[in-house]
A and B are shown apart, each in its own frame.
Chain A
Amino acid sequence: MSAKYGHILDYALRGLYRRRARNLSLILIYAAVTGFFASVILFSDALRREARETLQFAPALTVQKLAGGRLVPQTTGFGDSLSAIRGVRAVQPRIWGYYYDSPTGSVFTLMAAPGGTSDPAFHPDSGQIVCGRGFMESHFLRTGDPLSLVLPQGGLRTFVISGQFEPVTNLLSYDLLLLHPAEARVMLGLAEYEVTDFALDIPNPAETDAIGLKISRRFPGYRLISRDQVLLTYEALFSRRGGLVIFGGLLSLLAFIVLAWDRASGLSREERRELGILKGVGWGSGDVLLLKFFEALTIAVLSSLLGLLAALIHVFYLGGTLLKSLLSGWSVLYPDYPLNYNPDSGSLLLILTISVLPYLVATLIPAWQGAVTDPAEIMQAG
């Protein structure tokens, strides 16, 4: 019995090879459709993974003060009240804000060097600045160059660029300008005793929600942002954006199914003759159906693999150029970040589902129509 299947499969492969010119165009179109869907799936999943890996270094809880729904500065003394809460190991005051750069029309993130790190690259002295690659490249600057920034009250302040961030941190640092805390306060218009917000270090993640609840009850009017919340928001955001792109692409899939159906229905004179001969020499309808199934499966698997390969190159080698603006967000500056190659079995199963299944469905009824045709009828017509 298995030998029979083997012979039919062998015949199907030979038949496909004989009609290779006709099948090649179909395989190429099919691979392009699969490649599009596979790119969206791989790119969205890679972004979600990147967000997860990047955010593991984010503070467990961030406390921000709101007035009229907008973020306002807080006094440094408030940090003492937060550190007194049981379960909080450390409270890190943060000074940060945005800097609008009129020559490029971009908004950069301006931040004071964080405490607690001994790396000199993160500790610019007064009069120095460390820049992200996005800023350096958009202004054609190099380390050691002078840089003048516009103060909030008017006038310019000049810094010396003491370093730039490494490309591996692009996702976080591409638009970042790092200053000495005193300089950052001046640039952001903050008083000497003011900070933007507080980052809380909570060693036991299970206590984060309870601590957040305690803070919100004790200090109403403060906004609490937990790492888990941010992570879930990113997960949902990338999944939703991927969904919207896939939703748009479903029409192209439908068009392809119609094309494949139409193509499979329109048997050429030679194919009809072949079917007639096969049935004439004793092939049953079941054998012909199996032959057509093997042909469809071979085309589907081959095209899906080609599409998957194209998607892997597009996403992990070319950085998802065609989809980046759709899926990762919109901004004047796009960070050039590498995506780690790590597609999981779930993504591959999704690609298989959206590529192989529709083609098998599209060719089922035409295959049956061919299989049940009367051989005498075919031979007389041919």
Chain B
Amino acid sequence: MILTDFHVLIFISAELLFGFILFRAGIEAIRVSRGWQPGSSSEAQIILERRTWLVSAALYYLSGFSLILLVLFLQIINNHLPGVIQGAMCADGILELNRYGYPALLLKLAQIPFLAFFLLFNWLDRREPEFPLTPLKYYWLAPLAIFWLSGFLSELIFFNQIEPDVIASCCSISFEAARLPGLAVSIETFGAVYWRIILFFLPGLVLLLNHYRRYVAAVLLSLAWTGLSLLTLKGYFVKFIYARPTHDCLYDILWAQYYGIGYVLYGLLLSGLIGQLFLLLWPVLQRRLKNPPLHLEQRLRLVVTVAQFLYLGLIGVYWWYWIFFKL
């Protein structure tokens, strides 16, 4: 039971604040959704329009808070708790302590795309006087609230069930058998031989598919590329960041001693994916807008391409540095 630890206590208190704003914004969003009459200039409609400002402001706040809380959660499981739990050396050992650890992290990550979707919808909605995306944009709050509530409960149970005297397994045990699912070849071998072809080829293909507006195929390819990027990062590239051939940890790259490069790499993967998913929604949205922004589609494509190639460039720099200068 580690809920009395002050790092955890502050995190849980901040999560409650997040929940309070989300709850308040949710109530206002339901009121607006139920009574919304586009084009009406009745007093009730004016009151509802005023309420939309509270929901928008609350969601802007929540977006900032969610990033702070995610970093705080990672800091607790990756830096703080490994000092309190015997045997754990990074977040992997801590998250494996009970079955609620990884769900808590994944549910936390899952909230970010919904917040991003709401912000983009809200921005498009506010550009036009008729608010064409109201109340459609508020539907994003439903999955957000579900993910937050289940994530918060997972976090509570996860921290509550941690016993400081139970020994955790080190991440080296979890990662040593990292293999590509279904293939009898280690990621290391796979990465060493094929990464240049596969990893660079796929973003090029995504770029091409986006150019021809084949967004469904591009989303599927981007998802596959993101998964492959994580697998090859774990099995091959991360060694060049640590400069240790036996170290496969995906969490240590978040530490200050590696300049927090993990935040940049994961941030690029996530923003590329969010951008790509938004491109998928764009044709539907475009039809609802009277005056859609001219360059939004091109900019979103640029975000996806830049995020994917910048990720490749960064891991490529580490690889290149060791292969050509050190080995």
Contacts and interface: CB of A to CB of B under 8 A. Distances in A.
Nearest to B58: A364
Contact of A239 (B50, B56, B84): B84
A286 B6 contact: no
Contacts of A354: 10, 13-14
Contacts of B6: 40-41, 44, 239, 242-243, 245-246, 350
B5 A250 contact: no
A357 interface: yes
Interface in A18-70: 40-41, 44, 48, 52
A247 B4 contact: yes
Contacts of A52: 83
B10 A350 contact: yes
A286 B4 contact: no
Contact of B21 (A239, A250, A286, A361): A361
Interface stretch (B72-80, B235-243, B269-277, B300-308): B72-80
A73 B152 CA distance: 52
A345 B256 contact: yes
Contacts of B5: 236, 239-240, 242-243
Interface in B123-138: 126
Contacts of A346: 7, 75-76, 79-80
A285 B61 contact: no
Interface string A200-226: 000000000000000000000000000
A228 B21 CA distance: 42
Interface residues of B, number: 40
B306 to A, nearest CB: 20
Contacts of B50: 285, 372
A289 B50 CA distance: 12
Nearest to B165: A232
A364 B61 contact: yes
Nearest to B164: A236
A289 B53 contact: yes
A344 B257 CA distance: 12
B318 interface: no
> Per DSSP, are chain A's interface residues mostly helix, strand or loop, or mixed?
helix
B17 interface: yes
B195 interface: no
B327 interface: no
Nearest to B126: A286
Contacts of A48: 83
B44 interface: no
B283 to A, nearest CB: 26
Interface string B50-61: 100110111001
Given A232-B86, A235-B84, A239-B7, A357 B57 contact: no
A253 B14 CA distance: 12
Given A247-B4, A346-B7, A346-B75, A361 B17 contact: yes
Interface in A303-358: 344-346, 349-350, 352-354, 357-358
A325 B13 CA distance: 26
Contact of B14 (A44, A240, A357, A364): A357
Contacts of B69: 353
Contacts of B126: 286
Interface string A358-378: 101100110110011000000
Nearest to A239: B5
Interface in B28-58: 50, 53-54, 56-58
B98 to A, nearest CB: 17
A371 B17 contact: no
B256 to A, nearest CB: 6
Given A232-B86, A235-B83, A346-B76, 7 more contacts: A243-B9, A244-B4, A247-B9, A293-B57, A344-B256, A350-B6, A357-B14
Closest 4 CB pairs of A and B: A242-B6, A372-B50, A243-B4, A243-B6
Interface of A: 40-41, 44, 48, 52, 228-229, 232, 235-236, 239-240, 242-247, 250, 253, 285-286, 289, 293, 344-346, 349-350, 352-354, 357-358, 360-361, 364-365, 367-368, 371-372
27 contacts: A41-B6, A44-B6, A52-B83, A232-B164, A236-B5, A239-B84, A240-B4, A242-B6, A243-B3, A243-B4, A243-B9, A245-B6, A246-B10, A247-B4, A247-B9, A345-B256, A346-B76, A346-B80, A353-B72, A354-B14, A357-B65, A361-B21, A361-B61, A364-B54, A364-B61, A368-B54, A372-B54
